[in-house]
Amino acid sequence: MLIRVAVGIILRDDLVFIALRKSNQDQGGLWEFPGGKCEPSESAEIALVRELKEECDISVTECSFFEEISHDYGNKKVQLLFYRVTGFEGNPVGKEGQEVRWVPISTLSSYDFPEANQEIVDVLISNV
């Protein structure tokens, strides 16, 4: 089964917003860019706006498609649709109790991300 996931790379100056997955979640204890599953009839951009409101309490006002990555974890296949979020209202928080941080893009390699996110981390760092 393929799971479509909309992911937000939330940017402010040279900082990016990341969240720590809870230990009881799949890929728990790893950092991620916030987002969530797309509903069956939902576009990725609509899912992104909905998920970032639910998870981070921000309203996206400006985003652009960044990259698509498909990854097979063995027990599931994911299609990750990454968007650069450069405009939003509100201050992102961990609305679901997750630890969150604004970190310099150049330091992303010092955080442990799920395997499927590593390519995005590498691309972001190379563009700093």
**Strand residue runs (E) in the chain:** 2-12, 15-20, 31-32, 35-37, 59-72, 77-89, 100-104
Tell me, what's the pLDDT at 33? 96
Reduced to 3 states (helix: H, G, I; strand: E, B; else coil), residue 50 is helix
Q: CATH number for the 2-126 domain, one of 3.40.50.2000, 3.90.79.10, 1.10.3720.10, 3.40.109.10?
A: 3.90.79.10
pLDDT, tens only, 26-75: 766 899 999 999 999 999 999 999 999 999 999 999 999 999 999 888 88
Question: What does the domain layout of the chain look like in residue ranges?
Answer: 2-126
pLDDT in tens, 73-114: 888 899 999 999 999 999 999 998 899 999 999 999 999 998
Do you know the residue count of the chain?
Answer: 128
